[in-house]
Structure 1
Amino acid sequence: MTVPSPPAPLPLLATTTCPDTAPVFDRLWRDHGPVAPVELEPGVNAWLVMGYEELKAITGTPDLYSRDARDWKAFQDGTVPPDSPLGPMMFFRDNVIGYDGETHRRLRRPLESAIGSIDHRRLRRTVEALCAGLIGGFVHRGEADLVAEYAAAVPLLTIGDLIGLDPGQSRELLDAMRALFGSGEDAQDGNRRFEALLADLLESRRAAPSADLTSHLLSHEDLHTDAEVLQSIVVLVSAGNHTTISWIAQTLRLMLTDPRFNSRLRGGRLGIDDALDEVLSVAPPMINMPARYALRDTELGGRPIAKGDALVLGLAAVAHDPRAHAGATFWQRGNRAHLAWSAGPHACPARDPARTIARTAVATALHLLRDVRLTIDTIDFEPSPWTRCPARLPVTHTATL
């Protein structure tokens, strides 16, 4: 009797580019349970960790599940070539993301210090002015793309202002980051352009310090070299910008496509913070977060995990964990038990400024735009195995300006 071979692992990209993620994650849960095999690129496999307890285990146990990509067997043995499009998101970086233990703690302190130095009242005023200016730029047309002309621009210009970039430099940075996060053929070039722009900023601030986060990082005693300062800026910008764009865009998408969500939000029955938390629960900015690497043979969620295996954090799939939610709708008002910020030592330290930016952007759009209607039937998403950001949200509208 011939034993049928197991089905090929699902390409990870299929979880982000599908019309609706719920059937995909439900099927993965039904077929595999909390840990599912996936394909990162042809011939390169990994595990997608979808269980709430399993995610807490791998993010909270760095002595078993390393963040250091040099522990990835598929890279060590040449299965993943050095020029792989996976590189910018998965290869080792000599920064806080790439390390565990004391080195990680040392490199995290300057970031926490820089983020803690942000004046949130000034930040809110800055974002309000940027949002009003962006909406003012398209309101008279009666139509706009709320991704390209709004959601993508707000975090970009805000974070650029925080680190000391002018608006033109910030837009160059966004183009490079889109390529980097896309993990396509231009990912490596996008990564090079991204770091070159930030290196130029670093040199200008070394020559002329200012009251910005770049200058703050340059003066921090825990950063010992220019390379460490540069990589700290890389983390600050890449982790904060693209994810906040996706958070705002996904919230706007639900406002445009989900009558329940929109009516509760516009009618005041759902506060903006609750709306943002619902998005974090069911459509987090990072659908799949790379990665952890097993330091020895182990078992997770009933699956045998080999030393060197890559484990991707399924931050959206966890909303479908039947053990955690007992058949109930995952998101409930006031629930912040999602894992959109990750967990453990590598949890995002910038959740407060990110929320200020996203809250202000959504609130300003609600206040200034009226009768907003989507003009397309199908929403496409930016090609990336990691994020699920709407590519376009073309709308018609009126405004109160």
Structure 2
Amino acid sequence: MGTHVIKMPDIGEGIAEVELSVWHVKVGDMVVEDQVLADVMTDKAMVDIPSPVHGKVIALGGQPGEVMAVGSVLISIEVEGAGNVKESAQPAAVVKEAPVAATKVETVVESKPVAAPAPKAAVCQGPMVAREADERPLASPAVRKHALDLGIQLRLVRGTGPAGRVLHEDLDAYLAQGQSNASAPVAAAYAQRTDEQQIPVIGMRRKIAQRMQDATQRAAHFSYVEEIDVTAVEELRAHLNEKHGATRGKLTLLPFLVRALVVALRDFPQINARYDDEAQVITRLGAVHVGIATQADIGLMVPVVRHAEARSLWDSAAEISRLATAARNGKASRDELSGSTITLTSLGALGGIVSTPVLNLPEVAIVGVNKIVERPMVIKGQIVIRKMMNLSSSFDHRVVDGMDAALFIQAIRGLLEQPATLFVE
């Protein structure tokens, strides 16, 4: 038997170090070739590290949250044959073993296959949990909607994601319990709680925190909110879905918003830009690469619809769907998560009335979409019911003047309220 040492690979683009995000194996596990051993986080994306050999894990080279240099020892595997190092020459770092408990937590967080996954029931330790009546459990908008559709109270569901976030799998586990335990949490719901939980800020959460802090400290944020009547564009969307949905796919509002951005930016090139505040250079771009803020179980990600200016509604819709799926599954590549020139963020049905989105530096604008509501409006002296939606957008005041920002949003408003103008050249 020999030892095969796997070193932190060179991921490219001049990256000298990465953060070890999660182990998918532990000491003693048997692994096979191409099995994912760990995930590492670059400044933009999560990267899988597969095993090049079959064998038994004998040592781990780091712990989740540790920043490791390219070329440092990642993992040591016992293999048949000579291996690639002599036992006496094995680096000391390889014998360092990450705590098994931390490995288990990270495995649940990432929700990815491991060599010997524990059954869901064992991981959840029972999917029911008692929370205070006013305690808001962590969950993505998609999970909240799923729970609402199923008639499940999220405060009764134990979350197995980061910081106790409730995942789709937790809803499934809750339903699997059946009705026999349905009344069990009622008494416990009023019990005092003294438990505490410390969550290390590592991996994607650390990157999000760093980027948000950097954006708010470096950019001069200001926000502008405008109300838009989306009745006409929603009617157009329903018509197109009825006529072409079966053959071309269903359209959401997002492709229309992307199209409105593209058309409006023709008159406001200073908003489709990036600002290098260290070099004091503004770069205006002809290409419109729209970042679509996407909530995944591991945190907020921004996959990029490239060259939106050259895409049809259905082309944009298909690309948005593809990128969102890749991001939520943790499969989006580094290239798919970088290079945006302006960002679109939406919480869908949970979009609220007003928001103050944070810029995605080095961009100078982000357009936030709030929920659509039906309201009585006065049009030509008559009270009519219209579908109304707010756009809550933020800009970098170092680059974008307030008047330009307001005119830009007003241009988007005009395009959406008269949707035929989206396609008039």
Larger strand proportion of the pair: 2
Structure with bigger gyration radius: 2
Query: TM-score, structure 1 length as denominator?
Result: 0.28
Structure of greater relative contact order (alpha carbons < 8 Å, 6+ residues apart): 1
Query: TM-score, structure 2 length as denominator?
Result: 0.27
